[in-house]
């Protein structure tokens, strides 16, 4: 069982060396903790899929330390350059055409002609990526389909026996995953709402941005990785609840009397995003028979929060609760 080690110059360097060597290392980003592996080593990428129990058709995000590395792996359009200048490092992932002969494992993008690429802002992630000196594939560091980790303890809980090293950089400030923006087609499309909103992207590009996340239940998947049931606690989740039913925990938002926990008593969606996954985990115990969640406004980070909550509440493909 791998225990978290505190982030320091030394542990970041060790983490980078282990990644380069092909080992799996979990590390903090500003969004959630990632399960990293050398994106040029198919064995390391395969080990990520195996550790998470993730379907192999689901492509991974490639993390880079700097723009130069991103540009050796993918073809940047004008829009990509403008967005990277404004939002990198930060919680925006760009899906861009993949260059030939980059050394990237084919597994990392599941055979697609595009690559999802991101430069995280967290100083620990940046130090580790610099030390690794190679692109690092890193999905959220949780078993597939379960709640994403926003602390090193969450990672140890879910994957402690599957990683060589867990670097502890404290709780994640953003709390929901990066926005995935597809720039490989004719017009920009948000495939996954996240830390940067479609409105912020549209304002920078000066053109409308389609919002096209995968449907929450049924229908064709726009992005192969956007599964219907996802981010799911063990307990059933009930949305837009005014109060808890008998036996339910109530996850409040705003001034909600009697909430078991409250995402943001002041009704701040940024604070709520930072608390979302940790509070879902805290309520996911046998003390309750379900988790009821207050309505969250569909604005700012509330868009990403509602997306994650709808997936947490979606019917489970295996029929299990
Ligand atoms: O915040 C984050 O993005 C976190 C942290 C660790 O950086 N990472 C993360 O990675 O959430 P991952 O691999 O779990 O998310 C990948 C998402 C999936 O929805 C996947 O379908 C989409 O990005 N994706 C990856 N490559 C793609 C591609 N070539 N085309 C379309 N979608 C892609
Ligand atoms: Mg994930």
* pLDDT, tens digit (0-9, with 9 covering 90-100), for 92-108: 999 999 999 999 999 99
* Least confident segment among 138-142, 215-219, 290-294: 215-219
* Cα-based distances in Å from 278 to 231, 306, 309: 12, 16, 13
Q: Domain holding 19: CATH number?
A: 3.90.870.10
User: Is residue 41 located within the same domain as residue 176?
Assistant: yes
Q: Is residue 225 part of a domain?
A: no
Which pTM was predicted? 0.92
- Highest averaged pLDDT of the listed ranges 49-63, 91-105, 211-225: 91-105
pLDDT digits 0-9 by tens, 1-52 = 999 999 999 999 999 999 999 999 999 999 999 999 999 999 999 999 999 9
Average pLDDT of the residues in 85-94: 98
Q: Which residue has the tokens 């192969």?
A: 224
- Asked whether 248 lines ligand 1 (CB < 6 A), one says no
Average pLDDT of the residues in 245-264: 97
Which is the closest atom of ligand 1 to the Cα of 141? 6
User: Is residue 199 located within the same domain as residue 263?
Assistant: no
Q: Is residue 118 part of a domain?
A: yes
Q: Is residue 138 part of a domain?
A: yes
Q: Is residue 269 part of a domain?
A: yes
Q: Which residue has the tokens 């979302």?
A: 276
pLDDT at 229: 65
pLDDT at 84: 98
Instruction: Give the C-alpha separation, 192 to 38, whole Å.
Output: 24
Q: Is residue 300 part of a domain?
A: yes
User: Is residue 120 located within the same domain as residue 242?
Assistant: no
Of 193, 211, 229, the one marking the end of a domain is 211
Compute the distance from residue 177 Cα to the ligand 2 centre, in Å.
8
Q: What is the mean pLDDT of the chain?
A: 92
User: Is residue 247 located within the same domain as residue 207?
Assistant: no
Which is the closest atom of ligand 1 to the Cα of 137? 13
User: Is residue 179 located within the same domain as residue 271?
Assistant: no
* Structural domain containing residue 241: 237-313
Q: Look at the chain and report how many structural domains it folds into.
A: 2
Minimum CA distance residue for ligand 1 atom 22: 225
- Which residues lie across from 116 on neighbouring strands? 61, 95
User: Is residue 160 located within the same domain as residue 246?
Assistant: no
Average pLDDT of the residues in 270-281: 96
Minimum CA distance residue for ligand 1 atom 7: 34
Q: Is there a contact between 138 and 61 (Cβ–Cβ < 8 Å)?
A: yes
Q: Is residue 228 part of a domain?
A: no
Would the pLDDT of 151 be above 80? Answer: yes
């Amino acid at each position: 069982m791998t225990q978290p080690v505190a982030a320091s110059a030394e542990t970041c360097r060790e983490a980078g060396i282990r990644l380069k060597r092909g080992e799996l290392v979990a590390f903090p980003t500003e969004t959630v903790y990632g399960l990293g592996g050398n994106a040029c080593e198919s064995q390391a990428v395969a080990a990520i899929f195996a550790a998470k129990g993730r379907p192999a058709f689901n492509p991974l995000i490639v993390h880079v330390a700097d723009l130069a590395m991103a540009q050796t792996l993918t073809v940047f359009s004008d829009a990509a350059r403008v967005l990277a200048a404004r939002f990198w490092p930060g919680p925006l992932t760009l899906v861009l055409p993949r260059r030939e002969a980059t050394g990237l494992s084919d597994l990392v993008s599941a055979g697609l002609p595009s690559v999802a690429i991101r430069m995280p802002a967290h100083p620990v992630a940046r130090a580790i990526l610099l030390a690794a000196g190679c692109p690092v594939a890193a999905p959220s560091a949780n078993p597939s389909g379960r709640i994403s980790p926003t602390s090193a303890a969450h990672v140890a809980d879910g994957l402690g026996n599957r990683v060589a090293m867990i670097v502890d950089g404290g709780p994640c400030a953003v709390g929901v995953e990066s926005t995935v923006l597809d720039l490989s087609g004719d017009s920009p499309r948000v495939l996954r709402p996240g830390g940067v909103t479609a409105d912020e992207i549209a304002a920078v590009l000066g053109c409308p941005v389609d919002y096209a996340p995968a449907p929450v239940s049924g229908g064709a998947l726009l992005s192969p990785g956007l599964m219907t049931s996802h981010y799911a606690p063990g307990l059933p989740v009930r949305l837009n609840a005014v109060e808890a039913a008998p036996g339910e925990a109530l996850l409040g938002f705003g001034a909600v009397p009697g909430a078991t926990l409250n995402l943001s008593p002041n009704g701040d969606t940024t604070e709520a995003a930072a608390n979302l996954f940790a509070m879902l985990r805290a309520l996911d115990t046998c003390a309750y028979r379900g988790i009821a969640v207050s309505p969250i406004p569909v604005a700012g980070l509330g868009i990403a929060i509602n997306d994650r909550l709808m997936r947490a509440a979606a019917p489970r493909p295996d029929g299990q609760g």
